Amino acid sequence: MSLFTSLTSSASALDADSYALQITGKNLANTNNANYARETVVLGSSSVNQSALGASNSAPVALSVSQIRDAFLDKQVCKESSITSALTTQQSALQDAEAALGETVSSSSDAASVDAGASLSPS
């Protein structure tokens, strides 16, 4: 193996490791982001070099980036999104009904104070 081939292989390996470190940094930066899926770099050899001494693999290269996802958590997120959407739609319909009836109660504490005021008024 010539000096130039060795240097080229080393540079290629350093590029692949550098890319893997970038992905690791991205994973660390998004640790608290619930919508982020952790990623890994798939390293491999791009070719096999034939020489008088036999076959040898070339330096490692970054072949692809794959996401690490949890199927259970993905289902939970989908389920929670569906429930949230249903409750938002229901809330909107109830607010429309309140508006049509001329009632506007914005929270349960307001409703409690209205009920308490009604019970204190003389009959």
3-state secondary structure the chain: CCHHHHHHHHHHHHHHHHHHHHHHHHHHHCCCCCCCCEEEEEEEECCEEEECCEEEECCEEEEEEEEECCHHHHHHHHHHHHHHHHHHHHHHHHHHHHHHHCCCCCCHHHHHHHHHHHHHCCC
Residue 25 lies in a domain: yes
| 27 and 61 inside one domain | yes
Give me the tens of pLDDT residue by residue for the chain, a chain 123 residues long.
577 877 888 888 888 899 999 999 999 998 888 778 888 888 887 766 666 666 666 677 778 888 877 778 778 888 999 999 999 999 999 989 888 888 766 655 555 544 545 555 454
pTM score, two decimals?
Answer: 0.48
| 53 and 94 inside one domain | no
| 10 and 51 inside one domain | yes
Q: In the prediction, which pLDDT does 84 show? A: 93
Q: In the prediction, which pLDDT does 123 show? A: 47
Residue 123 lies in a domain: no
| 61 and 11 inside one domain | yes
Cβ-contact 58, 49 below 8 angstroms:
yes
Q: In the prediction, which pLDDT does 1 show? A: 59
Q: In the prediction, which pLDDT does 65 show? A: 82
| 62 and 86 inside one domain | no
CB neighbour burial string for 65-74, b if at least 16 within 10 angstroms, e if fewer: eeeeeeeeee
Q: In the prediction, which pLDDT does 42 show? A: 87
Q: Tell me the residue range of the domain where 90 lies.
A: 74-118
